[in-house]
Chains A and B, each alone.
Chain A
Amino acid sequence: MNRFLIPLGAFVLLVVVLAVGIRHSADKGTIRSPLIGKPAPVFNLATLSEPKRTISNTELRGKWYVVNIWGTWCFACREEHAYLLEMKRSGVMPIIGLNWKDEDEKAREWLTQLGDPYDFVAMDYDGSVAIDWGAYGAPETFLVNPEGIVVKKRVGVMTPEVWNDFVSHLHAPKSNPS
């Protein structure tokens, strides 16, 4: 009797461990950003509309805003674009484009062709700002609160579900993640 009890117990334990692991791995493909709950990295970059002017996200203090990391080399960004335009049309909050390692000319062409969902586009030519934001695969979209804290991060294309989740934070009584 005892001979079978121990292997059986070990087996049950293994099943439990694996079941918990599978249950928790729904978002296993995306790595939780260490930026959540921390101040949004500050950037000072040239804008696409006026390359001589630099713009910083500190100017958005006091407002909810969205940062969308994109590039014309990014296939999924094209897929996502129509929905970004819809987000823009809703007028809920400003959408900042952080253009990752691109050329002005290509970026402009993209926006004239597909429409411009961005309040402004900051050009990260050498990719160092994208690293500050912990970007590893465009498109990536962040929600930043009026205190300048990163509240949410989406890796991959924006969907109505993700956007609704973003918007729900604006109406929450206290949406500051501790």
Chain B
Amino acid sequence: MMRAVWFALVAMLVVSRAWAIDPEELADPQLQERYKSISHELRCMQCLNQSIADSPVSLAGDLRREVRELLLAGKTDEQVRQFMTDRYGDFILFRPRFSSRTVWLWSAPFVMLLIGGYIAIRVVRQRSRLVDSDTDPVDDIMEESTPPR
């Protein structure tokens, strides 16, 4: 019984690589690392929000093959991304690049932060002014009621 369990566990470990969506591995570990990170950054055009690394669709497999070939040919990460956007446009990148078309996309969070900050400062100022102009004797009573040190 125990042996059968061990056998199953070992078998699972051995075959898991072959059953993965992307069983391919590059010999050079550094290249493999880059391959993995780039293929996670590229959108599978046929799927809903999946990267080509996670998709079993045949086109995703073909695109992974292109990425491997480009990396093995000594291309830089940026050149691989350029290859993909030349063919599929910015949409294939999960992280859109900064361009005239994406300037709002990238700057919107900072613009909102500025607006939020401005509103926050105004509200705080207004409130503090209220305290200054507040001559209600209740406050004085409160102060008096604090125990002396």
| Set B45, B46, B58, B85: member contacting A127, Cβ < 8 A | B58
A131 touches B87 (CB 8 A): yes
| Set A32, A131, A137: member contacting B62, Cβ < 8 A | A131
| Chain A residues with a Cβ closer than 8 Å to the other chain, count | 17
Within the assembled complex, what's the spacing in Å between the Cα atoms of A131 and B69? Answer: 13
Contact residues of B: prevailing secondary structure: helix
A4 lies within 8 A of chain B by Cβ:
no
Q: What residues on A are CB-neighbors of B59 within 8 Å?
A: 127, 131, 135-136
Contact residues of A: prevailing secondary structure: loop
B106 lies within 8 A of chain A by Cβ:
no
Which residues of chain B from 42 to 84 have any CB-CB distance to chain A below 8 Å in the complex? 45-46, 58-59, 62-63, 65-66
A31 touches B58 (CB 8 A): no
Q: What residues on A are CB-neighbors of B86 within 8 Å?
A: 34
Q: What residues on A are CB-neighbors of B63 within 8 Å?
A: 131
Q: What residues on A are CB-neighbors of B94 within 8 Å?
A: none
With A127-B58, A136-B45, A137-B45 known as contacts, the answer to whether A34 contacts B85 (CB < 8 A) is: yes
Within the assembled complex, what's the spacing in Å between the Cα atoms of A126 and B46? Answer: 18
A35 lies within 8 A of chain B by Cβ:
yes
**A38, closest chain B residue (CB):** B86
A128 lies within 8 A of chain B by Cβ:
yes
Within the assembled complex, what's the spacing in Å between the Cα atoms of A26 and B89? Answer: 19
Would you give the shortest CB distance from A8 to chain B, in whole angstroms? 16
With A101-B58, A128-B66 known as contacts, the answer to whether A31 contacts B91 (CB < 8 A) is: yes
B88 touches A136 (CB 8 A): yes
A34 touches B62 (CB 8 A): no
Within the assembled complex, what's the spacing in Å between the Cα atoms of A32 and B88? Answer: 8
Within the assembled complex, what's the spacing in Å between the Cα atoms of A127 and B63? Answer: 9
**Which 4 A-B residue pairings sit nearest by Cβ, starting from the closest?**
A136-B45, A134-B87, A127-B62, A34-B89
Q: List 7 A-B contacts (CB under 8 A).
A: A34-B85, A34-B88, A34-B89, A128-B65, A131-B62, A133-B87, A137-B46
Could you list 11 further interchain pairs (A-B, Cβ under 8 angstroms) beyond the known A128-B66, A132-B87, A137-B46?
A31-B91, A32-B89, A34-B85, A34-B87, A101-B62, A127-B59, A127-B62, A128-B65, A131-B63, A133-B87, A136-B59
